[in-house]
Structure 1
Amino acid sequence: MPELSESITAIRDGAKEERFTYLTILEYHIKTPGVLPTLDEVLQNADLTSEIGWDLVQMLIGVDGYETCLETVARLGNPREVIIKVMETLAVLAKPFDEDQDDDEPDKAHFGLKPSEVPGRLISLISVLAILQRRIKTKHPSRFLGPSLVSVLEAYQPTPEVTAAVINLVRSLSGRVRPPLPTRTSSINVANPDEHGDVSKNAPDPEAEQEAPKEESLKQRLLQSFTTCILQRYVNVHGMQWSRRLLEVYQPGRIIPGRMTAMQAFREDETLQKRDAVVGQLVALLGDLGIDDCSTAFVREVLCHPNDASPLPDLENFDSVDDIHLSQGGAACLIAYWIFSTDAFDADSPDPAMHLFPDHLDMLRLFLGTDPNNEITNNPGVADALLAIGLGLHHRGLISAKETEDNTYMAYHHFLTLIALFHPDIQIRNAATRFAGTLLHADPDDESRLDILQDLLENCQYASLKACAVQWLQEEIVLAQKESKSNIFSKPEVIEKLQYEVFPDAQSTVSLEKEDILQYWGENRMFILQVANFAYFLFNGRKDLVPAGMDAAVGQRFVEPLIAATTKLRKVDGLDEHEQMQLDVLGERLQGLNIR
């Protein structure tokens, strides 16, 4: 590597050379430590920077201390050329690193950067995009804005810092409406040269044109769509636990004393505070962009496109505002935040002009109707948002906008159970399970409630959900007795109808080898334990609901084989203390049944 004095002389004197020659000189000397201030002095020559600026973007991005020179290039280079190079650079940084690469190892394919250095470069590139976009004076600036936003989306890393840079970009391009929020512990500050730099240093666009009248509305719509995409991606990575926190607000009596709640954790943990702060800023930004009303029209707009219709192509290919649509997942997160902030923080957020039926059911169908496992797994934040919306609507009594159709509750309940099954966060799974139980009991038609339970017990292959169905059945029976209701759950017919689903034939377990019976126990444990509890409740407490002769039949096909299986399981090696305890409880329950 050349000496600093040699590099300083070469960079100063070489500016007089032909441009291609000078770029070759720069490529050789630019990595000399301490030389960039000299380069920045040379780049104050607007004519020079206008000619070579776009070639410098990728040359600079891999060098420590590049920020000042990059800002100068953005202010004095040809904005139409430099913005293209910035987009190309973002595209390179968007490519994944080799999985086998060490985090501390520079990668030539990423300008010699380490993975840990990329977020800082993204922040800088996003920041100079604001300068470049505002410098471009063309008839259709949206034709530059759309592709720029796509480049940012494709390179976006959902860290609080990169997201703060994105927020600064959108505010700069839209014109700041609200004053900056007061600094607090959870605030995220990143460099914002467009706002804090010297605008007077910006060179004029050499090809300036008069802007077309419709451009302002196109720009606003592009920024709306872009920001909803960012909101969805951020929420999908950073669990907001809206549904869990709403349940703590709605049902404070179920909070276990002494255990930290999610609401408390988000108040006290700085990382969680930042999550709330970033999402709050994105929502405020959307409000500044004109999305501040959860009207019927807004809800319908969310539902009017298929779920696989990505907004990204619309940001590059459009003729009118109607061609650009919002991220549906981002819009769902926005509605969830409005509901959550109102109920958890008493915020003055828009009221949802929607009901569980048909609006929210249509929303669940849109997101979960085709491939629920994949959708919930890949979009856990959106799934949490959908659940939070349902909880909020139910809490408000916004059940139905019109007479519900047959089996509407069953369809809605089905989608809740999908979230309870497939969501990667156990707390969201638990929230979905609780809401599913609440919704089931809220169905005004007892026959419909029975149909839902029967469908789960007959057709569901997941033991955890079948266990929930048995628990909900018991709750329905208890509720009917408590409220002195004369319905299907207060009569023996309910047990008659469900007996073979609740107490299936287990006689085949008698002949199973140890390994097979261990597998059977692992797959069915939750269901078996819940059924044992229900059997104790039924045969030892509500014998009036047991049809004549059923107790002996259940004993023969279900209880006796499982008692034998339990005895065999206790002798299997490898069971932990908790599993042994569960087997002890199961054996006691089964042997204590009043079925003889």
Structure 2
Amino acid sequence: MADSESPLLKALPPETDYITYLTIIEYNLTQENLPILHKVLQDEKLTTNIGWDLVHLLVPFLPESEQCLQDIARLGNPREVILKVTESLRLIEYELPDDDETVNRIANALGDASDSRARAESTTYPTKTAATTEGEKQPGSSQMVEIPPPLPLAVNQFVALLSMLATLHPRIKTKYPSRFLSTTLQAILASLSNTVSHREEMVLAVIKMTKSFTGVQRPMLPSRKSSGMVRLSTRASARSAPDPEASTTGEVAPEESAMQRKLLQSFVTHVIEEYMLILTSESEDIPGMAWCSRIMEKCQPERTIPGAPTMADRFQSDEKLHGRVDVIGQLATLAQDLKLDDEVLLQTISAVEKTKVGSGQEEDDPPNSADDIPLSRVGSLFLLAARQVSGVLYEPSSKVSSSGVHVSDFDVFPDHQEVLKHCLSTPAQGTGTLGTEPEALIDATLALGLICLEHDAIGEPKTDEQFTEYLQVIALLSSNCPSPNLRGHAHYLTSTVLRSQPDDKVRLAFIRDTLEHCPFENLKVSAVGWIKGETIEANPPAPIAGHTGHAETGTTTSVFATPLALDSLAPYLFPSLEADLLRAPVADAWQTLQLNLSFYLTALNFLFLLLSARHLHRGLEIADMWRDNDVAGSFLQPLRDAEKRFSKGIDEGGELAEERTNGVVAELLLLNETMDRVTKAVRYLNGL
């Protein structure tokens, strides 16, 4: 049908009224006549009257309908169109229902692609390849360029609607533009929170839109691989119509400007929170941005495994991981452009959360002042961590972060402790969920602590209780966190901060408290490692000239160089095991052994050190400790008898036969061999 015969042209007002014309568009709108509608919408008067009612009709036709939507954004009534755009944002369905209607709609969208090959070409990546410009000039050339895969319809809708908002908001001339901005930003966040994929493309669209609001001209960094978003976010450069309801010439009061900036600052912190908290390791142990691992690789390369791929290498070579770096870098830069400084972020992180009173609808009301607009606490943490990590990874010669704030202004005590208190589920809050928070949140929190260590920014705890509370939180993270990666970094942070305490009695008290009260076997294993390290350092094999370890503080001998430390810890290092492993029913005893085997083996190895290192015997009175705590009778012999009991139980026909595996057999063999080594070392106590 010729364009002149199109109902969209024949029924143009004044042939019909606007309401009738809208009805005709609704019943005749197809993908094929979108170019005709685009021509029609160049009529400013027409678009002003009907544009806002076309938004919901055109959104399902994206990406082909983007040109028409941009016409509406340029020429429609901006106040009315914004209402429709924000409504459409909230109604985007990111997960299509699995029903016949959806299947039929997808099938119709594929058009004539009825055979399997055509359908495959329209739905798989790469969808098609196209000849390059040089190839078109040279017939027969085989040069091709890869066309990016099409984005899902929901993502197309999100990006295109944000592109409209970037055109609409600058057009509104009102005394209080923050009211429109507040509603818009809330709708974007609500929509973004429902997404399950393609978040990088969507967040980059958010960043581009926000820059259009602020007038920032900084170019966006190109991503490694082109995506469908590039085409969608290309806005028409044609003239935009003035606001037909303008109530001001464009001059905005300082208070209103402050509110708009605070709204955008708050928006950025909430966007980074939404993005970061959904990042998962999936099958690999890559928590969030893996900031902790990348910091350690940069600052302590000797701790990396030679020949193994580093986390930095993976973030550089893996497209998906590199996309995370791109997004966070762009968000951090945007926050800097919005004058969001580290001091404000720290205040937000450490602020006491206000209790909301009233109905849940109050949070949707436009703010009355900039002070009424809260930043996201978690988003502020992510942003602060991104800036400080950037100062370590990319500015190694300077102790100044990219935000211009000295790293030395952030210490373990009290700054990092405040971060832990307000951003994680600490024991003081009574939730009992410490370590189960999103991995990206734990990674960011620990990364700030590691940066403090690298810059020797420990600070001074006000009390011993404050010091102990900090260690308890980090130590619990090293035990509870599901990620081995994060557990290792938490353990390093705990051990290093513990060793920074100059008072050896405070260190001893924490080690004893951990051994006595901690229910987690792996944390008790760490405690054995701490006392082992303290013992070795405080008791060198021979006097070392200039030795300045913890053995002496001034003229005072370290408590770890006296019998007091081991005497106080022995009941917990070498506990009585007869009741738990021999008297208990075999199934219960077996479970006890499985839960504590690592601790038993670590304690046995430490005991072997105490027995075989003869220079320790006199100063630490090892013989008295061995005798007074009945280590042989209450700890070593029950373990030996239990090993025999369980070895017999896992044999065919035994009570534990179902538990028998190669791993179990190896564990019992290791336990037996370790006990033999300890038994043979006992002779050193007798001078043999």
Give the structure 1 partner of residue 631 of structure 2: 554
What is the CA–CA distance in structure 1 between the aligned matches of 2:330 and 2:435, rounded to whole Å? 25
8 Å CA contact 2:515–2:527 kept in 1: the answer is yes
8 Å CA contact 1:458–1:501 kept in 2: the answer is yes
- State the SS of the aligned residue for 2:537: helix
Bigger shift: 523-532 or 216-225? 523-532
The gaps in structure 2 that reach 5 residues or longer are 110-149, 280-287, 541-548, 651-656, 684-688
What is the CA–CA distance in structure 2 between the aligned matches of 1:556 and 1:364, rounded to whole Å? 44
Is 1:457 the equivalent of 2:515? yes
Give the structure 2 partner of residue 299 of structure 1: 346
Give the structure 2 partner of residue 365 of structure 1: 421
- State the SS of the aligned residue for 1:468: helix
Is 1:261 the equivalent of 2:310? yes
Give, in angstroms, the shift of residue 566 of structure 1. Answer: 2.7
Give, in angstroms, the shift of residue 128 of structure 1. Answer: 1.3
Which residues of 2 match residues 93-242 of structure 1 at below 5 A?
93=92, 105=103, 116-156=152-192, 157=195, 159-181=199-221, 183=222, 185=224, 190-191=229-230, 196-200=235-239, 202-210=240-248, 211-213=251-253, 214-238=255-279, 239-242=288-291
Q: Deviations over 1:119-141 (max 9, x none)?
A: 22211112211111111111101
Is 1:388 the equivalent of 2:444? no
What code does the residue aligned with 2:668 have?
A: L
Give the structure 2 partner of residue 320 of structure 1: 369
Q: 2:322 aligns with which of 258, 273, 276?
A: 273
8 Å CA contact 1:420–1:433 kept in 2: the answer is yes
What is the CA–CA distance in structure 2 between the aligned matches of 1:480 and 1:188, rounded to whole Å? 60
C-alpha distance 441-46 of structure 1, shift in aligned 2 (>3 A)? same
8 Å CA contact 1:232–1:382 kept in 2: the answer is no
Taking only the aligned residue pairs, the percentage that are identical comes to 31
8 Å CA contact 1:532–1:586 kept in 2: the answer is no
Give, in angstroms, the shift of residue 564 of structure 1. Answer: 2.8
Give the structure 2 partner of residue 12 of structure 1: 9
Give the structure 2 partner of residue 287 of structure 1: 336
Give the structure 2 partner of residue 540 of structure 1: 612
Give, in angstroms, the shift of residue 308 of structure 1. Answer: 8.2
Bigger shift: 532-541 or 74-83? 532-541
8 Å CA contact 2:348–2:376 kept in 1: the answer is no
8 Å CA contact 1:94–1:155 kept in 2: the answer is no
Give, in angstroms, the shift of residue 206 of structure 1. Answer: 1.1
Bigger shift: 370-379 or 328-337? 370-379
C-alpha distance 528-77 of structure 1, shift in aligned 2 (>3 A)? farther
Q: Deviations over 1:188-209 (max 9, x none)?
A: 7834878742141x22111112
Q: 2:504 aligns with which of 446, 466, 489?
A: 446
Q: 1:491 aligns with which of 562, 565, 568?
A: 562
What is the CA–CA distance in structure 2 between the aligned matches of 1:255 and 1:557, rounded to whole Å? 41
RMSD, matched Cα: 3.3
What is the CA–CA distance in structure 1 between the aligned matches of 2:413 and 2:67, rounded to whole Å? 56
What code does the residue aligned with 1:302 have?
A: I
Task: Name which one, 1 or 2, has greater alpha-carbon Rg.
Answer: 2
Give, in angstroms, the shift of residue 186 of structure 1. Answer: 6.4
What is the CA–CA distance in structure 1 between the aligned matches of 2:476 and 2:5, rounded to whole Å? 64
8 Å CA contact 1:127–1:192 kept in 2: the answer is no
Give, in angstroms, the shift of residue 340 of structure 1. Answer: 1.3
8 Å CA contact 2:70–2:235 kept in 1: the answer is no
What is the CA–CA distance in structure 2 between the aligned matches of 1:577 and 1:144, rounded to whole Å? 67
What is the CA–CA distance in structure 2 between the aligned matches of 1:556 and 1:103, rounded to whole Å? 75
What is the CA–CA distance in structure 2 between the aligned matches of 1:50 and 1:25, rounded to whole Å? 17
C-alpha distance 471-324 of structure 1, shift in aligned 2 (>3 A)? same
The gaps in structure 1 that reach 5 residues or longer are none
Give the structure 1 partner of residue 143 of structure 2: none
C-alpha distance 375-452 of structure 1, shift in aligned 2 (>3 A)? closer
What is the CA–CA distance in structure 2 between the aligned matches of 1:335 and 1:427, rounded to whole Å? 22
Q: Deviations over 1:452-475 (max 9, x none)?
A: 112222222221212111112211
What is the CA–CA distance in structure 2 between the aligned matches of 1:373 and 1:12, rounded to whole Å? 67
- State the SS of the aligned residue for 1:356: coil
What is the CA–CA distance in structure 1 between the aligned matches of 2:69 and 2:436, rounded to whole Å? 39
8 Å CA contact 1:496–1:547 kept in 2: the answer is no
8 Å CA contact 2:160–2:233 kept in 1: the answer is no
- State the SS of the aligned residue for 1:198: coil
Give, in angstroms, the shift of residue 93 of structure 1. Answer: 2.1
What code does the residue aligned with 2:353 have?
A: P
Give the structure 2 partner of residue 411 of structure 1: 469
Give the structure 1 partner of residue 47 of structure 2: 49
What is the CA–CA distance in structure 2 between the aligned matches of 1:315 and 1:446, rounded to whole Å? 54
C-alpha distance 256-560 of structure 1, shift in aligned 2 (>3 A)? same
8 Å CA contact 1:315–1:324 kept in 2: the answer is no
Q: Deviations over 1:419-445 (max 9, x none)?
A: 323434321221111111111111111
**TM-score scaled to structure 1, two decimals?**
0.88
Which residues of 2 match residues 467-546 of structure 1 at below 5 A?
467-482=525-540, 483=549, 484-485=551-552, 486-507=557-578, 508-541=580-613, 542-544=616-618, 545=620, 546=622
Give, in angstroms, the shift of residue 51 of structure 1. Answer: 2.3
- Count of matched residue pairs: 582
